[in-house]
Amino acid sequence: MKALSRSVAPASTAARSATRQGKPLEDANTLAPEMAGFRLLKLTNLMTRPFFGQFAKQHSLTLNEWRSIVVLASRPGSAAQDISASTGLHPMNISRAVIALRKRGLVEEARDPDNHRRMLLWLTTAGDALFRTIAPHSEAQNKLLFDVLEAEELAAFARTLEKLTTRAEEITRDE
């Protein structure tokens, strides 16, 4: 019986796989590695590999900590909630990242004068130095990735990403 199920399973898997291969992106609602969400996740994972290989261990930095640093470098005085909104990461993950960055002296905070419950965050000199060390490598990798697109394709991709991000924010707003 086991031998029979082994011989049947690969054939049915192969048949399913064959029908999905070459499937256009607009058919991406089927739960499979070809679906748009999986493909975006794959792209994100491929883009973060160099961070783990080159910078994470060297600087004792998590990806969420790095993403928080990137937001604070471009938007000093943001609150943790702002970092969460900018990155799409869960607030608890950002909270942990900010605590770790504070403990390492990479981030400093001050109360928001307009809302005393909010803490505003800035990179310290050490945090800014770390950003300036890693950022050129990230920017170069980003350039290598997007150099394959023509200006019109890049603009269309940016519009599509914005549209999908806005929709995802609407869908997850109450979660």
Q: Please spell the DSSP secondary structure of 107-155, one letter per residue.
A: EEEEEETTEEEEEEEEE-HHHHHHHHHHHHHHHHHHHHHHTTS-HHHHH
Q: How far apart (Å, rounded) are the C-alpha atoms in residues 124 and 109?
A: 9
Q: How confident is the model at residue 14 (pLDDT cuts 50, 70, 90)?
A: very low
Q: Please report, for residues 10, 17, 70, 156, the alpha-carbon distance to residue 5 in angstroms, rounded to integers and kept in the order given.
A: 9, 18, 51, 47
Higher pLDDT, 132 or 11: 132
Nearest 5°: phi and psi at 95? Answer: -60, -45
Q: pLDDT exceeding 70 applies to what percent of the chain?
A: 82
DSSP secondary structure, 33-63, as one string: TTSHHHHHHHHHHHHHHHIIIIIIHHHT--H
Q: What pLDDT, on a 0 to 100 scale, did the predictor assign at position 147? A: 96
Q: What pLDDT, on a 0 to 100 scale, did the predictor assign at position 21? A: 54
Q: What is the pLDDT of residues 94-140, one digit of tens each?
A: 999 999 999 999 999 999 999 999 999 999 999 999 999 999 999 99
Higher pLDDT, 27 or 157: 157
Q: What pLDDT, on a 0 to 100 scale, did the predictor assign at position 68? A: 98
Question: Six-digit token pair at 120?
Answer: 């505003």
Q: Which residue has the tokens 């609150």?
A: 79
Q: What pLDDT, on a 0 to 100 scale, did the predictor assign at position 35? A: 84
Element (H, E) at 72: helix 63-74
Give CB contacts under 8 A, 24+ apart, made by 169-173: 169/88
Question: Six-digit token pair at 42?
Answer: 């794959």
Q: How far apart (Å, rounded) are the C-alpha atoms in residues 82 and 88?
A: 10
Determine the average pLDDT of the residues in 34-51.
88
Nearest 5°: phi and psi at 148? Answer: -75, -15
Sheet of 115-123: strand order equals 78-79, 115-123, 107-112
Higher pLDDT, 36 or 60: 60
Determine the average pLDDT of the residues in 46-68.
91
